[in-house]
Each structure stands twice: as C-alpha cells, then as structure tokens.
C-alpha cells in the first residue's frame, strides 16, 4: 500500500507513468468507465474545497466507483470530539481509499500511521498538496513537453501556500525557481511559468496584490500563467481570455490526473 503524503513519495518514473495514463484517459475517458466498479473512496474534508473534493468525486464516478463524502465534518462524529485516528480507522472499514484534507501539517502522516487503506493527502494545513502538484506538473508538461530546464516564478503567498511548497519541491532539482511575495510582485523575472497564488487570509496572511496590464505586457509571449484556485483579486477576469492563462486547463487536468492516480491503486 502506498500512501501519498508528499509529492516526494513519488519518484520520476511514477510521475511519468501517471502522465502517460493521464494522456490516454484524457483522449478516451469513457474507455475507463468500469475500471473501479465495486471500489469505494472516502472524501474526508476538514477544510473547504471545491476542486479537489469534486474532482476526486467525479474521477471515482467516471471510473465506475462510489464515494462516501464527509465534506462538512461538523455533520460527522468529529463534531462530538472523535479524533483523526479513530475516524480514519472507521472509514478504512467502509472504503478502499481515503482522500484527506486537514487543518494541520502532519495530519496526513498521522492518518497514514493507523490506516488500513491508502491515504491521499488533499492538503494538510500549510503543509503539502501533492495531487495539486501532479496536475500542475501535467499542465506544465502539456505545454513544454518537460518539467525540467524551465524558469518558474511563484507569486503571492509563499509562506502559507501549500501548492507552492509541493510544486517547488517537485521542480527544485531541474528548474530555476524564483519567489515573489505579495509585497514585491512588481519586478517579475522573465519566466516560462508564472504561478500565482491568493493571499491566504484565513491563515493570518496579510497583503494585497493584483496582476496589472503592465506586468502582463512584460511577460513573454510563450509563457504560461497558472493558479491553483480559488482566486481572489490577484488575477483579474480580463486576463482569462489571454492564451497564456492556463488555470482552467489546470482544473480540467485535475479530473484526468486524479483518475490516473486512482487507477494506479487498482
Ligand atoms: N486548488 C485547490 O485545492 O482548490 P480547492 O481548495 O477548491 O480544492
């Protein structure tokens, strides 16, 4: 059984295998509609989510499997004080895999220590978000045909952004990485990828920044602009039609990458 707690749990060959599978699924998604018939996934979310929880749900349904959704833990026995470990042990009796989003760094590891089924970390506080990284990497790979030898600039909430943490871990050995926190976004270096993130005010982050038309003019024509979403003010909607905007592709790739990941547990 392989848990996915950190993006570092996957080696290059495993990531490439997921990409190969993702490409095939994206071409013919209906070919895979019965592959996980009879399997059950638990979506256990202690923090809000739209993309991660829904794309895992959709991925499992596309593959013929079922989902137990605990998307608002206040309606589960967690509101009666049940601890994480007991919750994980319980849900391991009812399902074949658990997707866990939690509030605190290390929760996914704690869950994996007691779980009888694979745990997929869907974000542990300000820790990591490895499946977001897989879809981010796949989006970069689709554009450039590689995920190395690229200049990547991360913009926004560098301290509290778990998507930045995971993606930078995945790219740190092969790419030139630059980081621009909210207060110094005006001198963006020339890059292949600009990865914007929102200010995580719910985690105490402060500040405000917004992409400007001047900033966009200075970005290379063949770069891509990414964002894990949700967004706030940092990327205005006027940029959405720019061919460099790839955040809607990221969302769509989230479904196919997660289908490929689930199939890798078959
Ligand atoms: N990117 C991401 O994790 O989005 P959600 O919080 O909506 O799942």
Domain ranges of the chain: 7-128+254-263, 131-251
In 88-210, the DSSP E strands lie at 97-102, 119-124, 151-156, 176-181, 193-196
Fold matches, 7-128+254-263 and 131-251: yes
Q: Which residue do the tokens 């890798």 mark?
A: 264
Average pLDDT of 125-148?
A: 98
In contact, 171 and 191? CB cutoff 8 Å: no
DSSP sequence for 162-175: HHHHHHHHHHTTTS
How high is the pLDDT of residue 17? 96
Q: List the one residue out of 130, 173, 127, 125 whose CA is nearest residue 152.
A: 173
Measure 90 CA to ligand 1 centroid, in angstroms: 25
How high is the pLDDT of residue 183? 83
How high is the pLDDT of residue 72? 84
How high is the pLDDT of residue 207? 86
State whether residue 239 is helix, strand or coil: helix
Burial 216-228 (b: 16+ CB within 10 A, else e): eeebeeebbbbbb
Average pLDDT of 178-187?
A: 89
How high is the pLDDT of residue 181? 92
Average pLDDT of 93-99?
A: 98
Q: Does residue 52's CB lie within 6 angstroms of at least one atom of ligand 1? A: yes
CA-closest residue to ligand 1 atom 1? 228
pLDDT tens profile 50-64: 999 999 999 999 999
How high is the pLDDT of residue 13? 96
Inform me whether the pLDDT recorded for 179 exceeds 90.
Answer: yes
Count other C-beta atoms under 10 Å from residue 173's C-beta.
8
Measure 197 CA to ligand 1 centroid, in angstroms: 11
Average pLDDT value for the chain: 96
Q: Does residue 49's CB lie within 6 angstroms of at least one atom of ligand 1? A: yes
Q: List the one residue out of 149, 99, 135 whose CA is nearest residue 229.
A: 135
Inform me whether the pLDDT recorded for 83 exceeds 90.
Answer: yes
C-alpha to C-alpha distance for 189 and 187, rounded to whole angstroms: 6
CATH architecture of 131-251: 3-Layer(aba) Sandwich (3.40)
What is the pTM assigned to this prediction?
0.97
pLDDT tens profile 200-250: 898 888 888 999 999 999 999 999 999 999 999 999 999 999 999 999 999
Cα separation values, 98 from 45, 69, 87, Å: 10, 10, 11
CATH number for 7-128+254-263: choose from 3.30.70.1350, 3.40.50.300, 3.40.50.170, 3.40.50.1370.
3.40.50.1370
106 pLDDT tier (thresholds 50, 70, 90): very high
């Amino acid at each position: 059984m392989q848990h996915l707690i950190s993006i570092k749990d996957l080696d290059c060959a495993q990531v490439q295998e997921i990409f190969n599978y993702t490409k095939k699924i994206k071409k013919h998604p209906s070919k895979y509609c019965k592959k996980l018939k009879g399997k059950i996934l638990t979506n256990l979310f202690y923090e809000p989510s739209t993309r991660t929880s829904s794309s895992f749900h959709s991925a499992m349904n596309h593959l013929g499997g079922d989902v137990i959704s605990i998307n608002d833990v206040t309606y589960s026995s967690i509101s009666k004080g049940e601890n994480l470990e007991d919750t994980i042990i319980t849900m391991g009796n009812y399902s074949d895999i658990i997707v866990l989003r939690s509030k605190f760094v290390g929760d996914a590891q704690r869950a994996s220590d007691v779980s009888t089924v694979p745990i997929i970390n869907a974000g542990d506080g300000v820790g990591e978000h490895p499946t977001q990284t897989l879809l981010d990497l796949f989006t970069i790979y689709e554009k450039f045909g590689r995920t190395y030898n690229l200049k990547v600039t991360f913009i926004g909430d560098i301290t509290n952004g778990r998507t930045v943490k995971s993606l930078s871990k995945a790219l740190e050995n092969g790419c030139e990485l630059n980081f621009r926190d909210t207060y110094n976004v005006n001198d963006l270096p020339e890059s292949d990828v600009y990865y914007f993130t929102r200010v995580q005010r719910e985690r105490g982050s402060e500040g405000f920044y917004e992409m400007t038309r001047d900033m966009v003019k200075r970005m290379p024509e063949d770069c891509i602009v990414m964002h894990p979403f949700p967004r706030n003010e940092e990327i205005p909607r006027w940029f959405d039609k720019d061919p460099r905007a790839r955040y809607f592709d990221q969302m769509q790739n989230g479904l196919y990458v997660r289908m490929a990941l689930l199939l890798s547990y078959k």
